[in-house]
Amino acid sequence: MKISFVGLGAMGAGIVLRLIAAGHTLTGWNRTKEKAEALINEGMKWTDSPREAASEAEVVFSMVTDAKALRSVALGPEGIIAGLSKDGIYLDMSTIAPEESRAIAKEFEARGLTMLDAPISGSTVTLSSGKASIMVGGDREAFERVKPVLLEIGPKVTYIGSQGMASQMKLAVNLVLMVEVIAFGEAIALAEKGGVAREVAVEAMLNSVAGSPVLGYRGPFILEGNMPEVPLADVNLQQKDMLLVLEQARKLGSPAPLAAAANEMMNACRGLGIDHRDFVTAHQVYRMLGGMSK
């Protein structure tokens, strides 16, 4: 199948590699071509605009930072909407507010084109190990057409409902993920303050009933020398998602006190100048507040 991908960050690049390995013909575009050089070397064809990328594909994916960036690549004379064929299917994998996804999808629908929201849950670690999951919202028939391709990206693909519902679900999933990781840092700091060695506390936590996939690969980052230079998701990126969660909670009148508390810990990370690290670094804030060395 001819597939195009717009937005070649770490996750987008990882998805492209999986699709190339599955035997598909890949075309891609990114705001900076330099980030795509490795993919070009792996056989991906480069195009000069999202429109051109869409015009060469049966299925088009995008994954960008926020709704503003999505509008810039999806809409307009050089956007995906200008190149997508009537038979093509466009899937956006960005984490954005559901109402933004619906508004953009209406632009496609007005032209007789099909857009689905298809956010992915996972990191580069889960993606490369074949354990990422995808949630999809929009036309059910279009979903069934692209499901085989999605299963080549990750083994768990779930149809959530109408357009925007997958984006709504992704925010709910991220709420759990962010609160869980922040709570992990709080718990390990508590154990440390009580005299348990950090490495012992991490091992015991990961071996306990509280262990989970995300803690399994992220938890050890808090051990000395283990924090990755290139974070899986730094504090600022995760807080962008948390603010989307809090705004949805406000609009819907749905209480989210744990999300608010986790967000405050991310504020603290920014205040301490450690927001460039993976967001599990919130553990460091707890240690400092508890009177332990930085």
Domains with residue ranges and CATH for the chain: 2-162 (3.40.50.720), 169-289 (1.10.1040.10)
Please count the other Cβ atoms lying within 10 Å of the Cβ belonging to residue 41: 8
Task: Extract the tokens encoding 26.
Answer: 């890949």
Nearest alpha-carbon partner for 67 in 104, 34, 40: 104
Helix (H, G, I), strand (E, B) or coil at 275: coil
> What mean pLDDT value characterizes the chain?
96
CA 264 – CA 177 distance, rounded (Å):
16
What SS3 class is residue 284?
A: helix
Report which residue type is found at 137: G
**Cα(209)–Cα(226) distance, integer angstroms:** 24
Q: Whole-angstrom Cα distance, residue 281 to residue 291?
A: 16
Q: What local confidence, expressed as pLDDT, does residue 294 receive? A: 55
DSSP 8-state assignment for residue 278: B
Per the document, the length of the chain is 294
pLDDT at 293 over 80: no
pTM of the model: 0.93
Mean pLDDT value across residues 77-86: 97
Q: Tell me phi and psi for residue 234, to 5 degrees.
A: -75, 175
If 0-12 CB within 10 Å is exposed, 13-18 middle and 19+ buried, where does residue 257 land?
exposed
Q: How far apart are CA 54 and CA 265, in angstroms?
A: 41
* Longest alpha-carbon distance in the chain: 64
Q: Which helix (H) or strand (E) holds 281?
A: none
Tens digits of per-residue pLDDT, 46-65? 999 999 999 989 999 999 99
Q: What is the pLDDT of residues 232-259, one digit of tens each?
A: 999 999 999 999 999 999 999 999 999 9
Confidence of residue 198 (pLDDT cuts 50, 70, 90): very high
